[in-house]
Chain A
Amino acid sequence: MQRNRWGRWFAGLAVVSLIVVGCAKSSGATTPPASTAAGASTGTTASSGPSASATVAAATCQGSGDKGSVKMMVNEWVGAAANVAVAQCLLQQMGYKVETSTLAEEIAWQGFDTGEVDVILENWGHPALEKKYIKDTKLATDAGSNGVTGIIGWYVPKWMVDEHPDITDWNNLNKYASLFKTSESGDKGQFLGANPTFVQYDEALITNLHLNYKVVFSGSEAATITAFQQATKNKTPLIGYFYDPQWLLSEIELVQVKLPAWTQGCDADLKKVACDYPAYTLNKIVRTKWMDAAGDAATFIKNFKWKNSDQNLVADAITNKSMKELDAAKQWIDANAATWQAWMP
């Protein structure tokens, strides 16, 4: 019985809607184009609803989206998301359609093969991939530095340095090994190893520097961040692999431990390495075919260059102030016109 009543109700509705359809169709109205933003990216929808006037575009990260598409790869870390958000906002204002996808560092390079990735805005090394994709197959091209310097190293929470000022010299690490003992490291000190996707050779370093430590792998960036947050909050000892730029560094203070300085070639043999990580000049990699055809967008990507502090500002807004990526990007764009105007073709 219940069902009948509903049925009648909907029947009426259906008739009304059919009439409306008829009218709409005959008056020439069209449904919104279904093909926009076809790549179901998890980021933000690229261009929803046309916003014709240029003044609106400048303020909202939106544009016509008819100048072509840019597929940007977002590395897993937030700094990379900050790079992409700023570039995405400006490219969209220029009239490009931007699709983003988040991928692990090395996996992303496969996108140059398939055409699923046009731009990587922040590349940390990867000589093997650079050889394969840039030198050998020429599928990808180095688009120069993005201006950010990447630092990898061994870090301890600030409070430990306050209590043991000499802990920042690797020569003294064995003295403090017992401090870092955990249920996972047996009778040695625990060194918290990194997310397996990152460049690292801590196990070799510990062996070659004769340190009484055992690498326990955190397994993921999230695990490392949680560990440093807890170590700072609860004042528990911790030493581990960390890096800058990273949004956590604007939330808590970590201090880098001095390892034997990096010299050219000291890390050539990863089994014998006994020196610090090099400072990485992070560069941009683009898909060659895309670059040749993309015109203004390619020039823009080549010109894209900012500083660690810029990136940290945007990354901090995304993580600690819970802003959406594009909103954080817009805020930076509004305040730093001089920087980004230099990137414009």
Chain B
Amino acid sequence: MTAISLSARSRLDPLTARRGLMLVLLAAAAIAYVLFRNQWTLPHNDDEPLFRSLNSVRDFVDENRNVLEPIRLAIGSVVDAFDFVIESLGWPGIIGLAGALGLVFGGWRLAVLTITGFASLGVLGLWDASMATLGLMLAAVILAVAIGVPLGILAGRSQRASAILAPILDVMQIMPTFAYLTPMTLLFFIGAAPSVVATLIYAIPPAIRITALGIRGVPSGSVEAAMSLGSTGRQVLTKVQLPLARRAIGLGINQSIMMALSMVVITAMIGAPGLGRNILNAVQRVDVGAAFDAGLAIVILAIILDRVTYAAGDWLDPRARIRTLRSGRQRLVGWLGPLGLIGAGLLAPFAIDATQFPTAVQFSFRGSVNESVNWFTDTFSRATIVIKDVSTNLVFNPLEGLLTSSPWWLVVAVTMLIAWYLSGRRASIAAGICLALIVLLGLWGHSMATLANVLVGTALTLVIGIAFGILTARSDRLRAILRPILDAAQTLPAFVYLIPALALFQSTRFTAVVAAVIYAVPPVIRLVDVGIRSVPETVVEAATMSGATERQLLWKVRLPLSMRALLLAANQGIVLVLAMVVIGGLVGAGALGYDVIAGLAQGKDFGKGLAAGIAIVLLGIMLDRITQGAGSRRRTTVAKAG
């Protein structure tokens, strides 16, 4: 309430008055904290009545699930179809096909990459698992494209459709992936179908968003020209807008594929086959090396798919194709290469066993990785545990203590105040509603513990990300060195590095934060790097001429001018850190993450797990609203920024 009346006044007052008010109110909050500390704290209760009523929701769905059976079977048959194709092709067929696609879209270099890439999956001894992952992913992507591209076209052509879709997509993207695994098993049981649906939810937003952007990005001149020549709406779409937006649609599909790949791995937790299963098994056996092999296979798949779809986007772009137009004969010869590769692949079964990748050529990093990880943890674990203890006592415990010992209404009020200050009235109201709903969910205590973790994780992510972003912006060489590391950190499933992190920092909140930071830092570095690099040279030169030092240049020119990018980075950092909350539950962070995992596994905790998933989403929306007002938010482009 205070926030609303204040924002009205703030329009009259200059910025300093707003800041002053903010400080006064924060001081008042501090006094309130001292007075009411440890009252109205809403301690956690595992037997909230709401949890039990959510349990009865489950029983209801259990009894009426048959309604969804057709969807389950339909999705299952799509997956089966892909599995069947992949299996009938055999490994030589797949490698041949991959090579052919590489040759068509990107030329012989790409073909070499795809062929060696796919072959190395077999050499790692992970052919079957990789193909299972590929099949699931393709099924999800096909559905994502079939649903997403039309929706994107709609959103691109109609303002109203776009306005309806935007908030839904926002929630889908903020929602941490683990949070919706529990409902998936409830609706679709275990196995391929829920895995595909979960992946679909995760991978569809970029397909919709980037397609819409592409359609809107078609120059209005082209559309008007077509209209003035008497084209119908349909003709404008199919002859002008779609062809010109092809590249954007290609990029959207590229993003969908990348996201689907990472999600398919996670759905191993609900019984999906593939590389994710290998990683979970390896983690269960504390076998970092085996997890590394499977993680590497995922990175290889990601690189191949990224390059191929990226090249396909270029290849589809009519503007790019005009440049490489060739004579009929040249084109014919160009097609023979790919056809030859496919032919060779399909014929191989006559000469060799195509059902199983030859076991004679196999290589694994398992032993060497395990040895070096053991050495590393043995050598450093004492030192790292001291780091963990010091930072836990200095940062985690005080912050968590502050949030959990404050009266709940005080936390709500202060959060709304900060939201109002940073992003205005609407963000403030949204934040207030989110927190109020968390109170109603009966998960206040756990939510505050998780919030403390997320805040620490975000702060660390930003400090590291901004520092490295500034460094890479100033050195092309450092950027080139970091790029593959960042790529790997983004694509490698977190499970792979959890075991070494556990050995170094034990089962603690700190370990969870470390995992979150590894996951969230790469995009932040990239955004900061791009932001600083895009500061106009002329401004920098002018400052240099007027005698600014390197330091002044950074603090007075480069950073302030890239503020928007920095704020976007902060927003991204928070969303990504939050996405790791559930993973944190797996390594000792407790609170909401643990509740979700328990709900996934134990029938009696289902309601609590579902509520915890919702609470994570609410925290996400709240933090997103608070930070996004300051920066713009088109996060679909993030993964590719830089």
Give the interface of A toward B (CB within 8 A): 2-4, 6-14, 17-18, 20-21, 24, 29, 31-32, 34, 36-42, 45, 48-49, 76-78, 81, 101-108, 110-111, 113-114, 116, 128-129, 182-184, 186, 192, 196-197, 216-227, 229-230, 233-234, 247, 318-319, 322
Contact = CB atoms under 8 A, between A and B. Distances in A.
Contact of B590 (A77, A113, A216): A216
21 contacts: A9-B340, A14-B336, A17-B340, A18-B343, A42-B129, A45-B356, A101-B271, A102-B281, A106-B601, A107-B190, A107-B270, A184-B507, A184-B588, A196-B605, A197-B597, A217-B588, A219-B593, A220-B587, A223-B502, A230-B377, A247-B285
A226 B503 contact: yes
Contacts of A106: 601-603
Contact of B378 (A40, A103, A233): A233
A249 to B, nearest CB: 14
B238 interface: no
B340 A111 contact: no
A40 B128 contact: yes
Contacts of B269: 104
A296 B531 CA distance: 68
B107 A3 contact: yes
A183 B392 contact: yes
Most chain A CB within a 10 A radius of its CB, from B129, B510, B587, B602: B602
A41 B287 CA distance: 20
A220 B366 contact: no
B353 interface: yes
Interface in B591-642: 593-594, 597-598, 600-605
B397 interface: yes
Contacts of B90: 32
Which 4 residue pairs across A and B have the least CB separation, nearest first?
Answer: A10-B340, A197-B601, A196-B598, A11-B336
Contacts of A192: 507
B334 interface: yes
A195 B182 CA distance: 17
A166 to B, nearest CB: 26
Q: Which of B131, B274, B503 has the most C-beta atoms of chain A within 10 angstroms of its own C-beta? A: B503
Given A10-B340, A24-B350, A34-B87, A223 B280 contact: no
A322 B83 CA distance: 29
B439 to A, nearest CB: 24
B339 A10 contact: yes
Nearest to A199: B602
Contacts of B603: 106, 128-129
B41 interface: no
B381 A234 contact: yes
B49 to A, nearest CB: 16
B271 A14 contact: no
B273 A40 contact: yes
Contacts of B499: 222, 226
Given A7-B337, A49-B355, A247-B285, 15 more contacts: A7-B334, A18-B343, A20-B350, A24-B347, A40-B273, A42-B128, A48-B355, A104-B269, A114-B190, A116-B271, A128-B603, A196-B597, A223-B498, A230-B381, A319-B285
B157 interface: no
Interface in B325-352: 330, 333-334, 336-341, 343-344, 346-347, 349-350
Contacts of B287: 319
A10 B336 contact: yes
B337 A10 contact: yes
Q: Which of B107, B284, B367, B600 has the most CB of A within 10 A?
A: B284
Contacts of A114: 189-191
Contact of A13 (B283, B344, B356, B598): B344
Nearest to A325: B281
B415 interface: no
Given A8-B333, A116-B190, A184-B392, A223 B347 contact: no
A312 to B, nearest CB: 14
Contacts of B502: 222-223, 226-227
